Structure 1
Amino acid sequence: MASNTMKMLRKFIEFTTQNKGFDRVCDKIIPVAGTPGKCKFSLKVDEGHLNTGGTLHGGLTATLVDSLTTAAIMTAGGSPGVSVDLNVTYMKAVKEGETISINAEVLKLGKRLAFTTCDISNENGILIAQGRHTKFVG
């Protein structure tokens, strides 16, 4: 089952980043592990991911929460749906060259709504951002 989930995650990233839309910013995300409803990714922060202060852009962090919780929903058998609510709490800055881990998990997948969470940590396992994402999937 895990290998099917990993195949699905690779296809999700490939599909997402091949379109001409904003999601192309996710092109360097690497799926690391996955089971239905739980996914782990990594990303080495490069120059294109930075804000003017030289740290990981908050908008990209929010995009990671949005896109990767959507991947988790899809691995749990849900549809990509549309966002109803997205919340991100930023706790620590990340600099260029650091690798981050992104753990996305489905808390509940209902008939109409999916509730998810996403933890983003630095190389030392310190939580740098946490997101909650609710999507209409029905």
Structure 2
Amino acid sequence: MSQQLNPATMSGLEILQAMAEGVFPHPSICDTMPMQCVDVSEGQVHFSVQADDRHLNPMGGVHGGFAATVLDSVTGCATHTTLIAGESYGTVDLNVKMVRPIPKNTALQAKGKVLNVSKTVVISEGDIRDENGKLYAHCTATCVITRQTK
């Protein structure tokens, strides 16, 4: 691209697409929680995720915080795709249901999608599944939107 991109003038969808394409660096949380954007479109995101030895609890299993962080990320990014330039969001509620233990060193798919957008709130849901579609965790999220004032 010959033109330098400015995140301040880009929509949320454009920013996430640029990250997925490697134009912008990935957020540092991706170094802690291995997440890679596979696909992003308006109202939806798809990440590839994989827990490893860094994510274990004292019993040797993958800490529940791994799933919670991944689900907060996919629901937040799905929300982000609905924003225009200059708008922001914050998660105000994240309701996570752990269905079964997250396996270590196993590639999983995490998806988030927007269910409803209102003037100040976005409701979304997310899940983590294996390659066969087996559900590991599910969540609903509520994000508050800071809209631009005119």
The answer to whether the superposition gives a TM-score over 0.5 is: yes
Distance 1:55 1:122 in 2: 17
1:93 corresponds to which letter in structure 2?
Answer: P
Distance 1:62 1:94 in 2: 11
Residue of 29, 33, 43 corresponding to 2:35: 29
Offset, 1:9: 4.5
Residue of 18, 37, 47 corresponding to 1:7: 18
Residue of 115, 118, 137 corresponding to 1:129: 137
* Bigger Rg over Cα: 2
Q: Count residues in correspondence.
A: 130
SS of corresponding position for 2:39 = strand
Offset, 1:88: 0.3
SS of corresponding position for 1:134 = strand
Kindly report which structure 2 residues correspond to 1:1-138, keeping only aligned pairs within 5 A, or say none: 4=14, 6-9=17-20, 14-17=25-28, 25-26=32-33, 28-77=34-83, 79-138=87-146
Offset, 1:6: 3.0
1:126 corresponds to which letter in structure 2?
Answer: K
Q: State the Cα RMSD in Å.
A: 2.4
Structure 2 length as normaliser, TM-score? 0.74
Sort the Cα spacing of 1:60 and 1:14 in 2 relative to 1 into closer, same or farther, 3 A. Answer: farther
Where in structure 1 are there 5+ consecutive unaligned residues?
none
Aligned residues with identical type, % of pairs: 28
Higher helix share: 1
Where in structure 2 are there 5+ consecutive unaligned residues?
1-12
1:129 corresponds to which letter in structure 2?
Answer: A
Cα contact 2:19–2:26 (8 A) shared by 1: no
Sort the Cα spacing of 1:133 and 1:95 in 2 relative to 1 into closer, same or farther, 3 A. Answer: same
- Per-residue CA deviation, residues 101-122 of structure 1 (Å, 9 max, x unaligned), is 1001111121100101001112
